[in-house]
Amino acid sequence: MKSARIEEMASIQPKLQKGDEIRVIAPSMSWHRKQQAAYERAVKFLESQGFVVSFGRNVKAEERFGTGPVEARLQDLHDAYADAKVKAIIALGGGWSANALLPGIDWELLRRNPKPLIGFSDITVLVNAVFAMTGTVNYLGPNFSGLGRRKGSEYSRENLLNVLTGSQPPSLVKSRQWLREDAGPLVKTRPWKVLQAGTAEGTLVGGNIGTFYLLQGTPYQPRLDRPIILAVEDDDEAGKNSAREFDRRLESLLQLPGMRENLRGVLVGRFQPSSGVTLPDVAYILTRMQLGGIPIMYDLDFGHTWPMMTLPIGGEVQIRADNNLTQVNLLKW
Active site residue 78: no
CA distance 313 to 220: 13
Residue 37, judged by CB atoms within 10 A of its CB (0-12, 13-18, 19+), counts as: exposed
Among 28, 78, 275, 304, the active-site one is: 304
Q: Are 301 and 188 in contact (CB under 8 A)?
A: no
Catalytic residue among 30, 97, 121, 156: 121
3 catalytic residue (yes or no): no
Alpha-carbon dihedral sign for residues 134, 314, 245, 144? negative
Q: Which of 30, 97, 153, 233 is catalytic?
A: 233
Q: For residue 200, what is the enclosing H or E element?
A: strand 198-208
Q: Report d(CA 171, CA 25) in Å as an integer.
A: 29
Judge contact between 208 and 120, C-beta under 8 A.
yes
304: annotated active-site residue: yes
Of 332, 282, 132, the residue nearest 220 (C-alpha): 132
Catalytic residue set: 121, 233, 304
